[in-house]
Structure 1
Amino acid sequence: MSHTPIKFAYWVPNVSGGLLISKIEQRTRWDIDYNRKLAQIAEQNGFEYALSQIRFTAGYGAEYQHEPLAFTHALLAATEKLRIIAAILPGPWHPVVAAKQIATIDQLTGGRIAVNIVSGWFKSEFTAIGEPWLEHDERYRRSEEFIRALKGIWTQDDFSFLGDFYRFHNYTLKPKPLQQPRPEIFQGGSSRAARDMASRVSDWYFTNGNTLEGIKAQVDDIRAKAEGEGHAVKIGVNAFVIARDTEAEARAVLDEIIDKADPDAVNAFGREVRQAGKASPEGEGNWAKSTFEDLVQYNDGFKTNLIGTPEQIAERIVALKAAGVDLVLTGFLHFQEEVEYFGQRVIPLVRALESQHADPVAA
């Protein structure tokens, strides 16, 4: 098992409705005041990263959405250490615009911004804003070009690139980002095309929530492919965390979330995402095998099973690390209170278990 401590990130609620398609009460807000305070709580309680979401249209409870780059900048300005990953959607963004925006934000905030390249799953969102909807593997081909363009613009002068989607001729960006060699690049996806792309160009690969066995299979696959490409990629996994003093309390919260799920919204979301998941040639993209209960939490976060007491959750996180996970991307019902609880009650247990595993005498 790696000696590097596992990292923790949280989903920035810059979109209304929290992270659940459920009518359960959520003491989570999408406004900037709530989010500034949340970012400060997170960095004071052991979180190293946060992820700002991208949505252009309402749907599935997300009636309001703040644009992620502007929102990320505001949160970076309110914090000192936290690194924030801004979601970028090829199509609406051109790589030169994204590269310039991110370089500026990086300069203004002491080098703490990263990006998550989202290839796109929400077809009706693309059609609503007049963007062409590419076939599944073409979306990943475009994303790979987008990432290669970002890397070139950020690290080279007189950058030229002739792709099928993007072309550059002796372009020089100044100033370049503060971070050396450049800001980190994250991407998501569960399909073969997503893993193959990550194995070639991405620094980090986010996968939906899954069982320990399912995650280990994905990690082993992507690491072997990356090694074949002479590349290294780190792994982040999505998890919806319900940490309570007793397992019964945690399970009761999960039951209430599912009991109060909005069936029409969940089923509409299911139809939309299954189109994306099954569109991959092997039929195994994100959500291709998700149940109704899984879909109540956007990215299969219940599957990772970080639900129970701090001790149970800490042990499961260390098991994820042993399977090759480098970062856990967390969602919560009541973000401010629960990020603080997680930082005070769960992370210290994880660190203690990590040190035991690192010490062969203790083991």
Structure 2
Amino acid sequence: MSISPLRIGVWAPVHGPRAAWQDPAEPFDASWPHNRDTVLEAEALGYDATLVAQHTVNPHLPEKDQIEAWTAAAALAALTRRIEIIAAIKPYLYHPVVLAKMALQIENISNGRFAFNLVNAWNRAEFEKAGIPFGAHDARYAYGREWLGVVERLVSGESVTHAGESFRISDYKLSPASPVRARPRIYLGGESEPARALAADLSDVFFINGQPLEDVKAMIADLAARPRRGAPLAYGLAAFVIARETQQEAEDEYHRLLALAAKDAPAKQEQAARTDPNVVMIRTFAKSVRVGTNGGTAAGLVGSYDQVAERMQAFHRAGIELFMLQFQPLRSELRRFAEHVFPRLGRPATGTPAAVASPRATRIG
């Protein structure tokens, strides 16, 4: 397997802290200034990407703030110069023509640094309270497959005529196209069979939730064995990091956050009631005690600086190209990681890392 250079990203704080919502070291802040300043600092420190998760209402604490992903991504694209901006998208929320036009606009604002991450929605309340259809699990993926097939062709500059189950489009072409490459990069997350099949067919990068190395290897092997047109699929991994001078210091911080997270149990029970029980990743998360979202510390990136770097290198050798990391307290840990772990990964503590690679020039699927 040919592996691309290791890249490191950070989740934008679109709905507050990732580990515990009552941490005195990380007061709740999902504001635009906090998101803006976090991403600008990440870029200055040498991080390669940021992921802007999409929710219309805060999925953890509905009474709290929530950044809107696509307007925020456009603003970040205008303010930054090098970092890749990845905006998540739930297909039911936007018609494919509208979303494709938005994606191409942000691609132009960023001069070719934009990507979108298709995710299958899990928070029923976000849709049902708005009167937006929320289909069964596999129905949502069938809708997403048709939706993404249209979007991928539109952002690639094609004139699209399409008659499908959900959309009818006639001779539609969007301009301007990407200024520097074939189209924006497409990420896709999910663990079910429909998610894996769609990733193999139509995405550039498959996002894996935080899991032990052997489980990640098995998932990559499954995806890599599937038929596919064009370049091989690349892989990203979400993970919560706790890195310290010693393993004991890291474990002490892990237990501090775990104890704080326990205080959020009532809110998490309410969240579970709003969650589609058929979402496969929810069953995966239930297998482990962890800190953070999207698998969090299940990836094992808790330890000394040397241990965390060694484990990341092992994931990289297994095929992980991009690590999308979570920290708490976010800003200080962002700096700590850049100072102490970046050099152990063979990159400077600060500076300009390798440029983001362009997706293949030919259409996928």
Provide TM-score, normalisation by structure 2.
0.88
Write the distance in 2 (CA, Å) between the matches of 1:145 and 1:274.
21
Aligned to 1:164: 165
Q: Closer, same or farther in 2 for the Cα pair 1:270/1:53, shift >3 Å?
A: same
Aligned to 1:288: 283
SS of structure 1 residue aligned to 2:206: strand
Q: Which runs of 5 or more residues in structure 2 are unaligned?
A: 348-365
Contact 2:54/2:89 (CA < 8 Å) preserved in 1? Answer: yes
Aligned to 2:34: 34
Write the distance in 2 (CA, Å) between the matches of 1:268 and 1:321.
36
Aligned to 1:203: 204
Q: Which runs of 5 or more residues in structure 1 are unaligned?
A: 278-284, 353-363
Q: How does 1:1-363 map to 2 (within 5 A)?
A: 2=2, 4-15=4-15, 17-25=16-24, 26=26, 29-61=29-61, 63-227=64-228, 232-261=232-261, 262-273=264-275, 275-277=277-279, 285-291=280-286, 294=289, 297-351=292-346
Contact 2:146/2:166 (CA < 8 Å) preserved in 1? Answer: yes
Q: Closer, same or farther in 2 for the Cα pair 1:244/1:122, shift >3 Å?
A: same
Aligned to 2:354: none
Write the distance in 1 (CA, Å) between the matches of 2:332 and 2:227.
38
* Equivalent position amino acid for 2:270 in 1: A
Contact 1:102/1:177 (CA < 8 Å) preserved in 2? Answer: no
Range with greater deviation from structure 2 (20-29 or 218-227): 20-29
Contact 2:100/2:151 (CA < 8 Å) preserved in 1? Answer: yes
Write the distance in 1 (CA, Å) between the matches of 2:252 and 2:3.
35
Give the deviation of 1:92 after TM superposition.
1.2
Write the distance in 2 (CA, Å) between the matches of 1:86 and 1:253.
30
SS of structure 1 residue aligned to 2:250: helix
SS of structure 1 residue aligned to 2:285: coil
Provide TM-score, normalisation by structure 1.
0.88
Give the deviation of 1:230 after TM superposition.
5.7
Identity in percent: 30
Range with greater deviation from structure 2 (253-262 or 313-322): 253-262
Give the deviation of 1:23 after TM superposition.
1.9
Range with greater deviation from structure 2 (191-200 or 59-68): 59-68
Q: Closer, same or farther in 2 for the Cα pair 1:315/1:134, shift >3 Å?
A: same
* Equivalent position amino acid for 1:45 in 2: L
Aligned residues: 343
Range with greater deviation from structure 2 (312-321 or 249-258): 249-258
Write the distance in 2 (CA, Å) between the matches of 1:256 and 1:212.
25
Residue-by-residue CA offset, 1:217-267 (whole Å, 9 max, x unaligned):
00000111144x566211111100111222222111211112122111223
Range with greater deviation from structure 2 (313-322 or 329-338): 329-338
Range with greater deviation from structure 2 (212-221 or 61-70): 61-70
SS of structure 2 residue aligned to 1:316: helix
Q: Closer, same or farther in 2 for the Cα pair 1:121/1:276, shift >3 Å?
A: farther
Q: Closer, same or farther in 2 for the Cα pair 1:325/1:238, shift >3 Å?
A: same
Residue-by-residue CA offset, 1:41-91 (whole Å, 9 max, x unaligned):
212223111000111123423621111111112222221101100111111
Q: Closer, same or farther in 2 for the Cα pair 1:328/1:28, shift >3 Å?
A: farther
Range with greater deviation from structure 2 (85-94 or 173-182): 173-182
* Equivalent position amino acid for 2:254 in 1: L
Contact 2:236/2:322 (CA < 8 Å) preserved in 1? Answer: yes
Contact 1:52/1:86 (CA < 8 Å) preserved in 2? Answer: yes
Q: Closer, same or farther in 2 for the Cα pair 1:53/1:202, shift >3 Å?
A: same
Give the deviation of 1:166 after TM superposition.
1.9
Write the distance in 2 (CA, Å) between the matches of 1:289 and 1:267.
17
Q: Closer, same or farther in 2 for the Cα pair 1:272/1:158, shift >3 Å?
A: same
Write the distance in 1 (CA, Å) between the matches of 2:48 and 2:28.
20
Give the deviation of 1:290 after TM superposition.
2.5
